[in-house]
Amino acid sequence: MKIALAQINPTVGDLRGNSKKIVDFAKEAHAKGADLAVFPELCVTGYPPLDLLENGFFIEAVQHTVAWIAAHAPPEMGLIIGAPILNEGPIGKRLFNAALLLEGGRQVGVVRKTLLPTYDVFDEYRYFEPSPERHIVEWRGVRWGLHVCEDMWNNEEQAPYHLYDENPIDELAALGADIFINISASPFSLGKHDRRNAILREICREHGLPFVLVNTVGANTEIIFDGDSRVHAADGTRLCCAPSFEEHLMIWDWEHDTAPCPVRHDDIEDLHDALVLGIRDYFSKTPVFTKAILGLSGGIDSAVTCALAAEALGPAKVVGVTMPSKYSSSGSVEDSRVLAENLGIAFHEIPIVPAMEAFGGMLEDAFAGTQPGVAEENVQSRSRGLTLMALSNKFDYLLLSTGNKSEMAVGYVTLYGDTNGGVAVLSDVYKTQVYELAHYINRRAGRAVIPENTITKPPSAELRPDQKDEDSLPPYPVLDQILRHYIEDQMELDAIVAATGYERAFVHGILRSVDRNEYKRRQAPPGLRVSLKAFGIGRRLPIVMRWNRDVVREIAEHTEAALHE
């Protein structure tokens, strides 16, 4: 039997476009001799459809779309697609997240998702009812252990704890499955490829069954999907693997394709490709933009963002604008110009000195008797933001925000200035990773696309004379180490101090900066998610709060002392 793994890029809500893509891929699979074509989780609606699932008219349209797919797919082959279906029972959420088996113009099998994630970017229990049972789908003499995405992840034996009581994998194996098939919409994060390898190898070796996984590819707002669809043999060996970050149709011959398929992944290459895909899909799936625009400061963040945008959209669709103030160095303007020439993008120089003089006159009386400080510095950033937004509005440009995760974490950004934009490209990329991306981009191009001076000069916002980032922040390697422990590893103060050896008061100050700047992050554009814990929908903290770790520590110490009295 030949199985087609159809790794497609659906768009959320585009029922017509998604269904046409499914049928086109099915026809191609049939032409290549496939008996069964497998598509990703919720491929009919795109993932995540969020509150579209609460719209009754949308759900009715989904039902008609599934019927259209069944009627137009090659009748001689089977299709497995992902779609929401109605819960016909009187209890529970009104929908199930389901895998549907279609053949000959009709539905011949259905499996409902059991494990509904509600952590990080996921909120599936908001919409779906978990399946009350597991069952085998029998089709063409095979007992298919069909399941949906999260249903395989509770099998990880080495996990320190498990989120769910049920283990659908074990139950399907006990019911006599001949093969596992998982349809997924599993988001990308750095290292995800290795984690998939590990759990699939474990499942196959534990149960002695082959495993087919089909994952969606593409980006929908913040969330990026890498695809990485694959087949593992019963002994865990990976037999074939689709390329990451692109659509692909892969045919696997169950009886004959037994040779292993080695695939190596490099984190910085994956990071680059994920961000390029994120920009491309945000632009193309929101069909209102003519070009992308961004401010070029001569710094590393805007240079890397610009290079990624040129790769994603093509140089003809990227506009760079340098907006010097009286504090901008001539080198920064020249570095921006050289970058634009290297990339072949449109370039404009619009000085903000007149705007600064105008604001100075406007605010002179109100600011009388005060010393210049952060307020005046931020007027520069906001003047640049206003300029870019004016160009964006005038010409239907997508404004790309260039701030990185390190700066966003501690609030080293200006609201309504450098946070302006439709999408924040680097908001989940630490400053140290930005430098790694710059080196990778230049190596990949075989030349210094990003000027060497941009990479080597000390980072600066250039909002006052001789300003350097390290005037306000620790060195980025130090800052990023602490931020990773706090944000992604979810370690607290004492644990970070023990792990790093830094002074407690120093670490405490950084954590306090992170906590105090949630209000800035909440008002920033959506950011492309590439880590296990990104700012935005994956990390939800209150803005108004009185969380004080020192008070909590005192409470714990007093409680402990009282228990021993």
| Active site positions, annotated | 41, 113, 149
Helix (H) or strand (E) holding 183: strand 179-184
Coil, helix or strand at residue 499: helix
Residue 145: its H or E element: strand 142-148
Measured CA to CA in angstroms, residue 394 lies from 163, 291, 293 at distances of 49, 12, 12
| CB-CB contact of 164 with 176 (8 Å) | no
Note whether 152 and 182 are within 8 A (CB): yes
**CA quadruple 318, 319, 325, 329: dihedral positive or negative?**
positive
Whether 531 contacts 190, CB under 8 Å: yes
Q: Tell whether the torsion through CA atoms of 457, 462, 468 and 474 is positive or negative.
A: negative
In contact, 399 and 422? CB cutoff 8 Å: yes
Exposed/middle/buried for residue 161 (C-beta within 10 Å: 0-12, 13-18, 19+): exposed
- β-bridge pairing 179-184 and 211-215: parallel
- Rounded to whole angstroms, how far apart are CA atoms 113 and 129? 8
The count of other CB atoms within 10 Å of the CB of residue 147 is 27
